[in-house]
Amino acid sequence: MTTTKFYRYIIPILLTLIGMTARSFAQSAPGGEVTFTIVGRIALPADRELSEKETEALFSGASRYLSSADLTYGSIDSTVLYRTDVLKGVGFDVLGYGDQCQFETREIGGRRIKIGFCSFSEMPTGLGGDEEIVSELIRGYVRSVKDSCDILVVSFQSPYDGPNSEHFSIDEDLFPRVCIDAGADMVIGQGGGVARGVELYHHRLIAYSLGKFCTPFGSNVKSYSGLAPVLQVTVTDQGRFVDGKIISMLQNPGKGPSADPKDKAATMIKYVSETDFPDSGIDVGPDGILAIKTATVRDNFVDSLLAYGTRYLGRPYSLGKTGPSAFDCSGLVYSLYSKFGIKLGRTAREQYRNGRPVNRMELRKGDLIFFNTQRNVYPGHVAIVYEVMPDGNFRFLHSCSSKGVTIQTFNGSYYYFSRYVGARRVVEDER
């Protein structure tokens, strides 16, 4: 996608930030949980207007789910704009349309929680390269919205349809993960041909598409296209995933969604999730129950360290600095590991002697990787493995002179690929 195309629809979103007040910080301690009910695309007939009674009837089969959460969110198209009042009446709190941001406040655990909903009318594609201007625009925009709320939910219109469209390729589309990296707490795809898989990414839920929830007029509702999952999710007041459930419903021509005793949507999403995201931190049960996979103590430790490190994304590079306003490469590594109780050498050369050597094909999150980037210093650069992909490629968090603190893809950069010299593991499983 071109930068021009991106500006076409991102400018209206950015304009919604004008006049936005700064976040109001609560005095009481966090500790509550927020429950969400989220559904897929909603569309009414394009050739005629439904009465209020007809519209209400479409959602009668799902009413108990729509009114059972702290916040219920749905995505609508232009055919529904004249009936948003009716949808609010049947249980929806927020309706996403086009490119916009909306905010709701709830009293949770004695604390006022501000929740942001940011919708994209189409998902920007082709974000595989960190050098992409579009990727940086998205990061900056999501960060700016998150600065104004406690929990941020990003939704996007899924662009895929056709054969095998239930599968999602992370290699091609990093947009959902880019949003999480920039501060979003949940990313939900909607629309497209069918529902897709879910994964847990840095303790935040991504649902790559909930498909269509109520599109029974002039739309294909056969086979997978007729599945209408309802996603129920509980997160902490900091946005961290707690648990959830996929409630299976079905669409029928001319009628609203109805309960599916065979749990087809949950079964399909379970299969696709396990196929597309085998290393995800979430289990999908055959009954639709979403649960966190049991992780090692090391996994939890490293996830916390990396999540803390992402708060520095965008900070400038400065030789000799260990933060927090600026870092050199080893200064970032030294600072993060010190924060979590591990003392390393101060320079890349010294850190290359910490821990134990690791083969590149056995890398795990949290390992240190080193590069030969300076003529008189070996090694001259250090980074932290941020994510290992199923094909063996990986992304790393580091501070570099050209971009400051950033996350890059190893195989996506010839410069670093050609200068890789080795890796060290400084956090072992028994931690």
Q: Are 211 and 195 in contact (CB under 8 A)?
A: yes
- The model's pTM is 0.66
pLDDT tens digits, 399-421? 999 999 999 999 888 899 999 99
Q: Are 386 and 406 in contact (CB under 8 A)?
A: no
pLDDT band at 132 (very low <50, low <70, confident <90, very high): low
Q: Which of 149, 202, 381, 400 is catalytic?
A: 381
CATH superfamily of 297-425: endopeptidase domain like (from Nostoc punctiforme) (3.90.1720.10)
What is 3-292's CATH topology? Purple Acid Phosphatase; chain A, domain 2 (3.60.21)
The DSSP element (H or E) to which 346 belongs, if any, is none
Q: Is 224 helix (H, G, I), strand (E, B) or coil?
A: helix
Q: What is the pLDDT of residue 124?
A: 61
For residues 122, 58, 167, 13, the Cα torsion angle rounded to the nearest 10 degrees is: 20
Q: Which of 118, 179, 398, 400 is catalytic?
A: 398
Q: Are 230 and 190 in contact (CB under 8 A)?
A: no
Catalytic status, residue 398: yes
Least confident span in 16-20, 185-189, 269-273: 16-20
Q: Where do you find CATH 3.60.21 in the chain?
A: 3-292
Q: Where do you find CATH 3.90.1720.10 in the chain?
A: 297-425
How many CB atoms are closer than 10 A to CB 362? 11
Q: What is the pLDDT of residue 2?
A: 47
What is d(CA 175, CA 6) in angstroms, rounded to the nearest whole number?
Answer: 13
Q: Which long-range contacts (CB under 8 A, 24 or more apart) does 294-303 make?
A: 296/429, 297/429, 297/430, 297/431, 298/366, 298/427, 298/428, 298/429, 298/430, 298/431, 299/365, 301/340, 301/366, 301/427, 301/431, 302/364, 302/365, 302/366, 302/427, 303/202, 303/203, 303/365
Alpha helices in 50-95 (DSSP H): 52-58, 63-66, 84-89
Q: Which of 101, 149, 214, 329 is catalytic?
A: 329
For residues 182 and 36, which has the higher predicted lDDT (pLDDT)? 36
Q: What is the pLDDT of residue 297?
A: 72
Distinct helix (H) and strand (E) counts, the chain: 11, 22
Closest C-alpha among 360, 364, 347 to residue 427: 364
3-state helix, strand, coil in the chain (%, to 5): 25, 30, 45
234, burial (CB in 10 Å: exposed 0-12, middle 13-18, buried 19+): middle
What is d(CA 162, CA 129) in angstroms, rounded to the nearest whole number?
Answer: 26
Q: Terminus-to-terminus CA distance in the chain, angstroms?
A: 44
Q: Is the pLDDT of residue 161 over 90?
A: no
Closest C-alpha among 214, 219, 235 to residue 108: 235
Q: What is the pLDDT of residue 28?
A: 34
- Mean predicted confidence (pLDDT) in 119-130: 63
How many CB atoms are closer than 10 A to CB 66? 18
Q: Is the pLDDT of residue 95 over 90?
A: yes
What is d(CA 202, CA 188) in angstroms, rounded to the nearest whole number?
Answer: 15
How many CB atoms are closer than 10 A to CB 138? 23
- Mean predicted confidence (pLDDT) in 339-348: 94
What is d(CA 204, CA 238) in angstroms, rounded to the nearest whole number?
Answer: 10
What is d(CA 408, CA 174) in angstroms, rounded to the nearest whole number?
Answer: 12
Residue with tokens 């739309």: 219
